[in-house]
Amino acid sequence: MSRGQGDDMAKSDRNDYPVPEIYDRPGFQIRRAHQNSVSTFLQMLKPYDLTPPQFGALTVVARWAPISQIDLARSLGFDRSTTALVVGLLVKRKLIAKTADQDDRRKFALTLTAAGRKLVQGCTQEANAVREALLAPFSKQEAAEFIRLLRKFNDAFDGISKAPPVVSKKRA
């Protein structure tokens, strides 16, 4: 992935006014990592017009449909309003169908539409390439350790932040 002119400008500005006491803070590095992750995703999946939260929602619905909107939120660690926005956009794009849950009419059941299935199948290879690009700076062992440490970090703060804990099976 090549760096654009805007990236060079941001780097130049940062070097012109260094703030090393900020750069070693975990929050600063996590925010920068998130920016890099989102930018890489958006660039590599540009033809699909998907954001990372939308791709996550489509992936969960593809795996667990029919799934309630509440369970989707729990699976991704989204709050209710974020989930409603993401689902609303995907319904509007006709990628997800939202119907009354057969067991509980107060809930909605989410399923992929044919267009949603086609989109997920079409962009899975690029989404995997994003993962590889983000882990490319590391050796295979370092990449596994990096993911393990990120999970450990996030697990330690489940329940502290406003983000709901992510539902997960036991991790190996």
Map 40-57 to HEC letters: HHHHHCHHHCCCHHHHHH
Could you read off the pLDDT tens digit of each residue along the chain, which spans 172 residues?
Answer: 444 445 555 555 656 788 888 888 999 999 999 999 999 999 999 999 999 999 999 999 999 999 999 899 988 988 889 999 999 999 999 999 998 877 777 778 999 999 999 999 999 999 999 999 999 999 999 999 999 999 999 888 877 766 656 665 544 3
At residue 108, the pLDDT reads 82
Kindly compute the dihedral angle of the four CA atoms of residues 153, 134, 57, 123, in this order, to the nearest 10 degrees.
-160
Distance CA 35, CA 46 (A): 16
Which sequence spans correspond to the domains of the chain?
15-157
Residue 11 has a pLDDT of 58
With beta carbons less than 8 A apart as the criterion, state whether 56 and 31 touch.
no
Q: How far apart are CA 34 and CA 60, in angstroms?
A: 21
Nearest in space to 163 (alpha carbons), one of 64, 77, 61, 82: 77
Q: How far apart are CA 1 and CA 63, in angstroms?
A: 30
Q: Return the CATH architecture of domain 15-157.
A: Orthogonal Bundle (1.10)
